[in-house]
Amino acid sequence: MYRDSQETWQAYIQSILLVAAATLLGQPIHLYLEPTNLVMIYLLVVVVIAVRLGRGPAVVAAIFSVLAFDIFFVPPRFALGVNDAQYLLTFAGLLLVGLVISALAAQANEQAQAARRREAQTIASYELSRNLVVAPESTAIAHVLRTHVSGLFECEAAVLLPDESGSLRFAETSFPLDESERGVITWAYLHQEIVGPGSDPFRSTRDYHFPLKTAQGGQGVLVVRPHSADGRLSYEQHRLLESFASQTALALERAQLAEQARKAQLLQETEKLQTALLNSISHDLRTPLATITGALSSLSEEEPSLDAATRRALAESAREEADRLNQLVANLLDMTRLEAGAVQVHRESCDVQDLVGVALARLTKRLRQQTVDVDIPQDLPLVPLDFVLMMQVLVNLIDNAVKYSPPGSAVWVQAGLVDHYLHICVSDQGVGIPKDQCERIFEKFYRIPHGNRTAGTGLGLSISKGIVEAHGGRIWAEPRQPKGTVFVVALPLAESPQEETHHE
């Protein structure tokens, strides 16, 4: 506001009016005082004008003051000449002091304005960096820069970032750029130099091109088209945009490094998974294969010492191990299909009693030394589920309950309704699972070392989890008091609200 008034013609009119007012004020005083004393009134007016209205109006006021003083107060009055030459000195003094004061006032003004501009720039830089910090990836960073620049400078702005192949593409733009500008942008990007109107080798370009560069290389280009009448940026704006460009380049580099780190971690995890898979499979394949090979070679040696019972036992153990192999391969296939989303859940209304019965029948051999207590209410409604897949879940859970419990201990299978969900609980009195591992056991290949115990792949529970979740349900484990574990499968009684209506 200050600056505007200083620069307009009104300021000059105001300064002349103020000199006129001083002259009017001087008229009555002139009757009592010597004319030289009236110079003080004019000086006061020049000072006020210099401070309030700036340098130009103050210079005008100083000149008009000398003229007014001469015409209205110095004899001969109402004429330009002077009778007494000593007044020339007064005129010179008034003019000189007026000019010096206006120069000082202008300097002070400029300094104040520079300080204000610096403050505005610092705030703008701060705001940009604050927004850049929270921008998660390169497109968001480009958006922050573009909106910030076009908002701050009232100009059009565009940000181009290199794609995977290294060629520049628009990440953000507020105006259409024609093909001829493309060449300039690419040049600025490749040479890492600022190109603007009048700068070599693209003198005729309308836009300013700021490369976003860091020590690692070019991260992109900021294109700015000013709205000002001459289409030019001021020196200050130019400098500020340069600093914005480097701040943004650093943010882009940071985002890129974060992305690389994420990818590296992903790769590491995939590799870890593959190694775990290989270790697990090679161990689990080798053990049964070794048993089978041993049994078969003993059987084929026609050893006379082997009686019929031993032969049967050998054949039986070879068959059991072959079963285990089969199970392992089936598990791996299931896991792969689940992960690929290739498992289709075919829901049909099923009787839970049947489901548990068939699962137990599948485990008859395993359950030779174990009793399983089944407690399922008679009035349990039919539940929509995929019979084959859910049976596999129950087989896994009951098999685990048996595997991780001492022989002869009890295993319970219970079912009931809880808030529109069917809960099936499989409980045992076995070794138990530490509370902090109750979630981890559902991860692929995760196994708790239970000392001497049992072979396994660490896949059964993750497959079960995948199946239950595909039904829209949940599965979890919790310690059982005083010992053992309870696995709970919670399945929705209706697939979705529509189905609910359908079933009703």
**Which residues here bind ligand ADP, judged by CB under 6 A?**
396, 400-401, 404, 428, 430-433, 441, 447-448, 450, 456-462, 485
Residues 70, 30 contacting (CB under 8 angstroms): no
- Rounded to a whole number of angstroms, the minimum distance from the CB of residue 144 to ligand ADP is 46
Please tell me the distance from the alpha carbon of residue 295 to that of residue 284, in angstroms, as a whole number. 17
Please tell me the distance from the alpha carbon of residue 191 to that of residue 184, in angstroms, as a whole number. 10
Please tell me the distance from the alpha carbon of residue 269 to that of residue 463, in angstroms, as a whole number. 20
- Rounded to a whole number of angstroms, the minimum distance from the CB of residue 336 to ligand ADP is 16
- Rounded to a whole number of angstroms, the minimum distance from the CB of residue 417 to ligand ADP is 24
**Residue number, nearest CB to ligand ADP:** 456
- Rounded to a whole number of angstroms, the minimum distance from the CB of residue 377 to ligand ADP is 24
Nearer to ligand ADP, 224 or 441 (CB): 441
Nearer to ligand ADP, 172 or 334 (CB): 334
Nearer to ligand ADP, 185 or 359 (CB): 359
Give buried/exposed letters for 325-352 (b at 16+ CB in 10 A, else e): bebbeebbebbeebeeeebeeebeebeb
Number of residues assigned to the chain? 504
- Provide the CA 132 distance to its chain's centre, in angstroms: 10
- Rounded to a whole number of angstroms, the minimum distance from the CB of residue 401 to ligand ADP is 5
What is the DSSP secondary structure assignment for residue 195, as one 8-state letter?
B
Burial class for 267, CB neighbours closer than 10 Å (0-12, 13-18, 19+): exposed
- Rounded to a whole number of angstroms, the minimum distance from the CB of residue 403 to ligand ADP is 6
Nearer to ligand ADP, 148 or 403 (CB): 403
Taking the alpha carbons of 74, 77, 80, 82 in that order, is the dihedral positive or negative?
Answer: negative
Give buried/exposed letters for 456-478 (b at 16+ CB in 10 A, else e): bbbbbbbbbbbbbeebebebebe
- Rounded to a whole number of angstroms, the minimum distance from the CB of residue 459 to ligand ADP is 6
Burial class for 380, CB neighbours closer than 10 Å (0-12, 13-18, 19+): middle
Provide φ and ψ at 214, rounded to 5°: -130, 180
Nearer to ligand ADP, 162 or 456 (CB): 456
Strands 371-375 and 383-385: unpaired
- Rounded to a whole number of angstroms, the minimum distance from the CB of residue 287 to ligand ADP is 13
Provide φ and ψ at 81, rounded to 5°: -75, 170
Which strands make up the sheet holding 208-214, listed edge to edge? Answer: 168-173, 155-162, 217-226, 208-214
Nearer to ligand ADP, 252 or 433 (CB): 433
Nearer to ligand ADP, 65 or 462 (CB): 462
Nearer to ligand ADP, 297 or 437 (CB): 437
- Rounded to a whole number of angstroms, the minimum distance from the CB of residue 441 to ligand ADP is 4
Number of Cβ within 10 Å of residue 198's Cβ equals 10
Nearer to ligand ADP, 208 or 412 (CB): 412
